[in-house]
Amino acid sequence: MRAIVCNAYGPPEDLVLADVADPVPGPGQVLVRVHAAAVNFPDVLFVAGKYQIRIPPPFTPGNEVAGEVVATGQGAAFTPGQRVFGTTFGAFAELVLLDEATAALVPDGVDFGSAAAFGVTYRTAYHALRSVAQVAAGDWVVVLGAAGGVGLAAVDLAVALGARVLAAASSPEKLQLCRERGAQATVDYDTEDLKLRIRELTGDNARVVLDPVGGSYAEPALRGLARGGMFVTLGYAAGAIPAIPLNLILLKDITVRGMEIRTFMGDYPEECARDLAELSELFADGRIRPYIGARFPLAQTAAALRYVADRKVLGKVIIDVT
């Protein structure tokens, strides 16, 4: 099969398309012919060797896929021909293995691209909103990087939960998309005073900030929170991990929480199970659908990762494999 291979840590442009051995499913695994794979910012970090977990090269990056079952290992409760989606490692390839526990049937009426784009970003956003911040109807939720993968998922889901969304992003095009997805207010944090605009637009009543961006945007967003609010850090797409003055937390009685999708299931199994059941229902019923802003063929995976790394993406980027 063909697969994208990272032979050494570095920029996306160093990735190569190579012929590698077909994987063989073991007990409880399914072999999937990949139709679509989704790109996430951590893919860029994995390739660069800058993620929290380092995978020794050579390896195939990517972890969100949707496709068709072609073979099953012993005990796997799927059959060839079924459409499935899930998370794994090595998604940017023509064939991939999914563990039974991480695979699910693609709902009727959902295309492979939407299924591949759904898992990581929507789970991250929903856990952050539902379990960490415990967002309620009517709450003002500020979303940084609101036109990106996690950000736009957070906009969609906060609206579905009945919250009022202030979307913060870096261009009129991105903010227009956020308004189309239901954001009640928007701010361009590259041209406007983020702290002041959060206070003005929410009536000094912002209860939650979701931040998948970090960098220079984190502190002014935290300063814009209402007294007793919650700041949830989800990642650092801006490339810098911010340092927050602790006196701000003390003086405003702010709660700062972190949420990492990789460890959430083990740390909070009951909340995770509840969230996934609710999220799956929203997806199957058609009440939420990922926005796909760009598509690339497998041979142009490096360009897709560069597109994400340079913060050009609106919503999700998809690799069309077959």
Residue 114 CA to its chain's centroid (Å)? 13
Alpha helices in 58-138 (DSSP H): 112-126
Confidence of residue 270 (pLDDT cuts 50, 70, 90): very high
CB of 91 closer than 8 Å to CB of 18: no
pLDDT for res 322: 84
Q: Is the pLDDT of residue 26 over 90?
A: yes
Chain centroid to CA 201: how far?
A: 26
Alpha carbons 188 and 196: distance in angstroms, whole number: 12
CA separation for the pair 208, 232 (Å, rounded): 8
- How many Cα atoms sit within 13 Å of 60 on the Cβ side? 25
The answer to pTM > 0.85 is: yes
Domains of the chain: 2-120+268-320 (3.90.180.10), 133-258 (3.40.50.720)
pLDDT band at 168 (very low <50, low <70, confident <90, very high): very high
As a whole number, the mean pLDDT across the chain is 94
Quickly state the pLDDT bin for 53 (edges 50, 70, 90): confident
Specify whether the backbone of 319 is left (phi greater than 0), alpha (psi in -120 to 50) or beta: beta
**211-228: pLDDT as tens digits:** 999 999 999 999 999 999
Mean per-residue pLDDT for 148-177?
96
Residue (of 69, 89, 91, 90) closest to 79 by Cα position: 69
Three-state DSSP state, 218:
helix
Q: In whole angstroms, what is the distance from residue 66 CA to residue 83 CA?
A: 7
Alpha helices of 19-111 — where are they, by DSSP H? 41-48
**pLDDT for the residue numbered 310:** 87
Asked whether the beta carbons of 137 and 157 are under 8 A apart, the reply is no
pLDDT the model gives residue 52 = 81
Task: Give the whole-angstrom CA distance, residue 48 versus residue 46.
Answer: 5
The rounded distance, in Å, linking the Cα atoms of 48 and 317 is 19
- Residue 102 pLDDT > 90, yes or no? no
If you compute the radius of gyration of the chain from its CA atoms, what whole number of angstroms results?
20
Tell me the CA distances in angstroms from 173 to 151, 177, 178, 182, 256, one per residue in order: 15, 6, 9, 15, 30
pLDDT at position 265 is: 85
In percent, the amount of the chain with pLDDT more than 70 equals 100
Q: HSE on the CB side for 257, CA within 13 Å?
A: 17
